[in-house]
């Protein structure tokens, strides 16, 4: 819900008296934080270096507003230029589209084809189809100014031309005033004065505002391109020249290697459109998608999802990589774990965590950028989280997924706390067939299920965190971490089944091994647990076996010969970027170049299919059809889908391409 207040500029407001009026606010759907939730987790103060990172990120024009990719916002002022589109008819079916999101599936919803989006918003491009209308929206920076061009797509609009509305206001309760000054809209904030111009004329009183349009606005029938500019007036031709220049700069910034260019463009574009300014904490961060964030009240940070966003951001934006990492760690609960989710209103999953991939993320970024302060900022939360797992998720010496329902505060309308369902959600593999028969032990708050994937990721976390401790000269911590790694690695070895040539999960309730195979059964390579011979056997006998995981599209989230494979529903058989990525990292710990190359190639081919056709980046993909659009529960622009391209980026780098 947005509340916008518009004021016609008066003589008193024209004066430069220094009097500032509150003009506009934008309230999140879930604005009221639960008091217990707010008080539960005191946040450590940001370091000076990280404060500078956020200050660098949260500046200038960009698509910062979660709720619409066609809104441009100037930070730190919060000044927003919104584009809404009115569908015109001659009878009674007029309609107005105030906000635009990528991948909406509601009947009659707008369809968006996202074009390039530079990290800093210096160039953006997309096309929108809605009802019988289609238009293109481009933006670029001209120094500190913004230019926008909205153009009808030739031959795509039938009937009457739509009417474009450009409204100007202030978001997030930021102070200032906005009003007409001649034929321009002027905004005054405590730090700046900004004039907004349009190549269209100031609308007459006959051009009625639409629901969702507040404050001063321009309006123009979209018969030909309409340009918006700030700072000074520009013609359509001048705006087009700026767009051409910034588009060329974007293209030049990509790798010259043909294959790498496509991957970097996809990652930069995906994270560019998914990165927002989150006003509750005043930070830039990359939630999984805007649709998820809107549904969760304004933003939602998922544990491993956002760590993987940080890893991908490292291909071109160090500050964003650091921000996604630190902000995920800063969601940590008082108990010491990074929660499954953290959402608007300071709600989070106080009962459960998610896969421990934080330390491998931080170490990877440090090995690329070598910023010691980043390790110092991340280390305390990583260590506390690492220590939490064996204290709260251990059963018979194994690690298992769990849910602590007794942790305060309780989540409203969430029946999963302290249940078997909540424990499975901690895995991040919400409906995986691996857990269909797993029993929940309420006294220990865990599944009676020794999990190969969790054990392996935790060992890798210990190893990475020990290396971080070495870099920080914390020798006692490093020794303790390596001791934990060794102990759990030895326990993991008891899950190796020689007759099967693979590590198997174990049902601790029955004492039987589970023969339901998932890519997580290959994660021991991530932990460097198997010998070289055992790793090779796992790959040849299982991963590259067409009856199990190999095929035109790989790797399915459950083996092809499992009864659940044909469900092709979420984690029941579909292909997921994070699984392929973690398996690929494990392969890279061994001399398995053919397997590395083959997995990277197949992952990339799957990613490219819908990227080239629709510019979609899917949450998950059908392992039979190689599509993501076949179901409604695969978000069309969910950033971790780009991990399928990222593995090819890593493989190309290894091969010096």
- What is the rounded average pLDDT of the residues 275-295? 96
Confidence of residue 32 (pLDDT cuts 50, 70, 90): very low
**pLDDT digit string, tens, across residues 365-375:** 999 999 999 99
| pLDDT 10s digits, 509-566 | 999 999 999 999 999 999 999 999 999 999 999 999 999 999 999 999 999 999 999 9
Phi, psi of 147 (to 5 degrees): -125, 145
Residue among 231, 303, 250, 31 nearest 123 (CA): 250
Q: What angle do CA 258, 264, 269 make, to 5 degrees?
A: 130
So what's the pLDDT on residue 214?
80
pTM flag (> 0.85): yes
Instruction: Tell me how far CA of residue 280 lies from CA of 23, 26, 28, 33, 495, in angstroms.
Output: 19, 11, 9, 10, 45
Measured CA to CA, the distance from residue 1 to residue 509 in angstroms comes to 48
**Which pLDDT score, from 0 to 100, does residue 194 have?**
98
Q: Where are the domains of the chain?
A: 11-26+65-252, 254-654
Grade residue 17 by pLDDT with cuts at 50, 70 and 90: very low
The helix (run of H) or strand (run of E) holding residue 506 is strand 506-507
Judged against a pLDDT cut of 50, whether residue 20 lies above it is answered with no
Q: Class assignment of domain 254-654?
A: mainly alpha
Tell me whether the omega of the peptide bond preceding residue 448 falls within 30 degrees of 0, making it cis. no
pLDDT value at residue 657: 64
The mean-pLDDT minimum among 232-236, 255-259, 405-409, 471-475 falls in: 255-259
pLDDT tens sequence across 305-344: 999 999 999 999 999 999 999 999 999 999 999 999 999 9
Is there a cis peptide before residue 638, judged by omega within 30 degrees of 0? Answer: no
Task: Name the average pLDDT for the chain.
Answer: 91
Average pLDDT over residues 593-614: 97
């Amino acid at each position: 819900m947005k509340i916008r207040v518009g004021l016609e500029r008066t003589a008193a407001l024209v004066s430069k008296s220094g009097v500032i009026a509150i003009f506009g606010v934008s309230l999140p759907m879930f604005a009221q934080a639960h008091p217990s939730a707010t008080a539960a987790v005191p946040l450590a103060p940001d370091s000076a270096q990280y404060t500078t990172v956020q200050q660098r990120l949260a500046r200038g024009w960009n698509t910062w507003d979660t709720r619409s990719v066609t809104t441009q916002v100037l930070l730190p002022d919060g000044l927003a230029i919104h584009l809404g589109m009115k569908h015109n008819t001659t009878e009674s079916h007029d309609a107005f589209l105030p906000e635009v999101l990528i991948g909406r599936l509601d009947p009659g919803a707008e369809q968006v084809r996202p074009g390039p989006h530079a990290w800093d918003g210096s160039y953006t491009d997309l096309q929108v189809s809605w009802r019988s209308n289609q238009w293109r929206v481009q933006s670029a920076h001209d120094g500190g100014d913004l230019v926008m061009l909205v153009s009808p797509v030739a031959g795509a609009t039938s009937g009457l031309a739509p009417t474009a509305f450009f409204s100007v206001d202030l978001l997030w309760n930021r102070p200032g005033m906005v009003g007409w000054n001649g034929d321009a809209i002027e905004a005054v904030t405590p730090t700046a004065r900004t004039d907004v111009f349009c190549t269209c004329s100031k609308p007459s009183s006959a051009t009625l505002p639409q629901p969702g349009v507040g404050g001063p606005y321009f309006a123009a029938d979209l018969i030909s391109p309409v340009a918006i500019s700030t700072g000074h007036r520009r013609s359509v031709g001048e705006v087009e020249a700026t767009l051409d220049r910034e588009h060329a700069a974007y293209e030049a910034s990509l790798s010259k290697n043909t294959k790498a260019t496509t991957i970097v463009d996809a990652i930069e574009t995906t994270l560019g459109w998914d990165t927002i300014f989150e006003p509750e904490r005043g930070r830039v961060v990359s939630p999984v998608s805007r649709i998820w964030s809107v549904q969760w009240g304004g933003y939602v940070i998922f544990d491993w999802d956002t760590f993987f966003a940080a890893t991908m951001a490292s291909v071109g934006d160090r500050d964003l990589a650091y921000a996604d990492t630190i902000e995920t760690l800063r969601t940590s609960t008082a108990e010491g774990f990074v929660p499954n989710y953290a959402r608007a209103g300071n709600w989070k999953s106080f009962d459960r965590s998610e896969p421990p991939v934080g330390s491998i993320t931080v170490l990877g970024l440090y090995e690329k950028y070598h910023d010691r302060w980043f390790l110092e900022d991340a280390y305390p939360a990583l260590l506390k989280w690492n220590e939490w797992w064996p204290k709260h998720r251990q059963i018979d010496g194994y690690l298992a997924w769990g849910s602590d329902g007794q942790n305060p505060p309780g989540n409203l309308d969430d029946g999963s706390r302290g249940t078997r369902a909540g424990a499975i959600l901690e895995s991040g593999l919400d409906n995986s067939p691996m857990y269909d028969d797993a029993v929940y032990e309420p006294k220990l708050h865990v599944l009676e299920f020794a999990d190969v994937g969790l054990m392996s990721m935790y060992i890798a976390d210990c190893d990475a965190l020990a290396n971080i401790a070495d870099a920080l000269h914390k020798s006692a911590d490093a020794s303790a971490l390596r001791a934990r790694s060794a102990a759990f690695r030895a326990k993991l070895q008891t899950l190796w089944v020689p007759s099967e040539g693979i590590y198997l999960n174990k049902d601790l309730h029955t004492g039987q091994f589970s023969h339901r195979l998932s890519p997580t059964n290959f994660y021991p390579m991530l932990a460097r647990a198997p010998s070289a011979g055992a790793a090779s056997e796992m790959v040849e006998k299982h991963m590259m076996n067409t009856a199990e995981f190999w095929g035109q599209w790989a790797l399915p989230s459950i083996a092809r010969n499992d009864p659940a494979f044909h469900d092709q529903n979420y984690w029941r058989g579909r292909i997921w970027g994070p699984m392929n990525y973690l398996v690929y990292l494990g392969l890279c710990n061994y001399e398995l170049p053919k397997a590395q190359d083959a997995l990277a190639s197949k992952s990339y081919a799957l990613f490219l299919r819908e990227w080239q056709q629709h510019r979609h980046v899917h949450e998950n993909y059908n392992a039979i059809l190689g599509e993501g659009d076949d179901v409604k529960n695969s978000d069309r622009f969910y950033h971790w889908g780009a991990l399928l391209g990222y593995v090819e980026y890593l493989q190309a780098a290894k091969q010096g391409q």
